[in-house]
Amino acid sequence: MTEQINIRDWERLSAYLDGDLEAGRRAKLEQRLGTEPALQRALQRLQRTRDLLRRAPQARVPRSFTLTPEMAGQTAGWLSRLNLNLSVVSAVASLMLVVVLLGDLFSFGGAVDLTGLPGLAAAAPAPVEEESQAFSAEMADEQSDDDAAMDGADATALATETEDETLEERSLDAKDEGATAAALDPWLLLELALGLTALLAGFAAWRLRRSH
Amino acid sequence: MDELALIQAAKSGDLDAFNRLVLEYQGLAFNVALRLLGDPAAAEDATQDAFVSAYRKLRTFRGGSFKAWLLRIVTNGAYDELRRQKRRPTTSLEFETDDGDEIAQPAWLADPGAGPDELAERAALSRAIQSCLDGMEDEFRVAVVLVDVQGLDYAEAAEALQRPLGTVKSRLARARARMQECLQSFAELLPAKMRLNPEATND
């Protein structure tokens, strides 16, 4: 039968059993033990419990736990270095990705003009058109100078024809360049590479920490 | 070579010296881990990890009780494992074969010097104690394991647990109270001489 003993009394009984109760409290407790059978029974149960716990069988070790040189450090050393390297790579790649993304953000907002960069020129058609026109005029002038015998009407017709062909060719060239640039936008490739590097290195470092 | 000399030699990288300390304390470390975790395989891993960790952290040992310092590493490792187990519960102390058949005496408890009755009694007691420990909160379980099962004094237990002496005493008292209550429920499964009620011992 379990009798209700409050936690303070359990603490006193436990300390009493271990000889850890100071003289005054011990005398007081012994006086109570003489008059309170429930407290005395609790002390007996506690004492038997402690005795049983002290007699709890000790297991034999299943094997020796001595360390090999590898366990003591060599393996841990290179794993630790690898883990550190992966973490650094992941952190640097993440930082660079943030910088590139911020650059992208500002360039789309118009704060930075990236049209001079390779691949981004195609996104701005106006300069190509202007260049075509200037080139056509130049060609027309050269044509007029080289063939002075031709009359004005023929020269004008030829210049107009040349201009049309040139514009068409330049326009086609610009379209091709635009398609290639969109497919191989170096900024996009850089962002993808940085993002993948950060993710893979971070994941590898995390797995390494988990498994060791 | 005494313990202090072995520790100094191990700090200087002498692995043989450290392994002599391992041989000295591996029984204690394994039994603490086993009582805290209730699973021999998990206790084996926790013990090995604790010794590896102890070797790497040996430079941080600044004197005092090496046993308490080592047991702090063991108990911290066991706590980590217990937290993992709570996320994915496993079975308790193994008293079964791989096929699930119950065995009276696990090999790790076998004692060639004991008779069959004594072995059966020990197994019954061990099973009852472990069952009660398993149902206890971690902080109470570790206090009773260190002091009552493994025989550390209050000061060593306080050092191993990094808790004030008063906290350890209080936890130990509560743990003992829980244990006596729990062990009473095993009265019929234990031999008469191991029962808690004095009346029952006269059967």
Considering only CB atoms, A46 lies closest to which of B47, B149, B180, namely: B180
Question: What total number of domains does chain B contain?
Answer: 2
Q: Do residue B61 and residue B153 come from a single domain?
A: no
Mean pLDDT of B26-55: 96
Domain that holds residue B14: 1-90
Q: What is the distance in angstroms between the Cα of A89 and the nearest Cα belonging to chain B?
A: 26
Q: Do residue B61 and residue B106 come from a single domain?
A: no
Q: Note the pTM of the prediction, 2 decimals.
A: 0.61
Residue B86 pLDDT grade (very low, low, confident, very high; cuts 50, 70, 90): confident
**Which among B38, B65, B90 is the end of a domain?**
B90
Which residues of chain B make contact with A53, given a CB cutoff of 8 A?
Answer: 129, 144, 148-149, 179
List pLDDT tens digits, range B126-171: 889 999 999 999 999 999 999 999 999 999 999 999 999 999 999 9
List pLDDT tens digits, range B108-122: 454 556 666 777 778
Give residue A45's pLDDT. 92
Q: Do residue B201 and residue B102 come from a single domain?
A: yes
Distances (CA, A) of A199 to A189, A207, A209, B113: 15, 12, 15, 59
Q: Do residue B106 and residue B84 come from a single domain?
A: no
Alpha carbon B87 to chain centroid distance? 22
- What letter does residue B45 receive in the DSSP assignment? H
**Which among B24, B59, B90 is the end of a domain?**
B90
Which residues of chain A are under the pLDDT cut of 70?
A: 1-3, 74-80, 108-184, 210-212
Count Cβ atoms below 10 Å from residue B178 Cβ, excluding itself: 20
Mean pLDDT is lowest, of A132-141, B35-44, B125-134, B176-185, for: A132-141
What's the CA gap between B151 and A191, in Å, rounded?
61
Query: Is the model's pLDDT at B6 over the cut of 60?
Result: yes
Query: Is the model's pLDDT at B5 over the cut of 90?
Result: yes
Q: Do residue B116 and residue B86 come from a single domain?
A: no
Mean pLDDT of B88-92: 55
Query: Is the model's pLDDT at B4 over the cut of 70?
Result: yes
Which residues of chain B make contact with A59, given a CB cutoff of 8 A?
Answer: 30-31, 34, 40, 108-109
Q: Do residue B130 and residue B35 come from a single domain?
A: no
Residue B202 pLDDT grade (very low, low, confident, very high; cuts 50, 70, 90): very low
Query: Is the model's pLDDT at B73 over the cut of 90?
Result: yes
Q: Domain containing B27 — which CATH number?
A: 1.10.1740.10
Does ipTM top 0.95? no
Q: Do residue B106 and residue B181 come from a single domain?
A: yes
Q: Do residue B63 and residue B36 come from a single domain?
A: yes
Tell me the DSSP string of B132-191. Answer: HHHTS-HHHHHHHIIIIIT---HHHHHHHHT--HHHHHHHHHHHHHHHHHHHHTTTTTS-
> In the predicted model, what is the mean pLDDT of chain B?
84
Q: Do residue B83 and residue B127 come from a single domain?
A: no
When scoring B176, B182, B183, B193 by the number of chain A Cβ atoms within 10 A, the one with the most, hence best to mutate, is: B176
Q: Do residue B171 and residue B114 come from a single domain?
A: yes
Q: Do residue B111 and residue B176 come from a single domain?
A: yes
Residue count of chain B: 203
Q: Domain containing B155 — which CATH number?
A: 1.10.10.10
Task: Answer yes or no: do B19 and A67 touch at CB < 8 A.
Answer: yes
Give residue A148's pLDDT. 46
Q: Do residue B112 and residue B71 come from a single domain?
A: no
Considering only CB atoms, A48 lies closest to which of B22, B149, B196, namely: B196
**Which among B61, B90, B119 is the end of a domain?**
B90
Tell me the DSSP string of B63-116. Answer: SS-HHHHHHHHHHHHHHHHHHHHHHS----S--B-TTS-B-SS-GGG--TTS-H
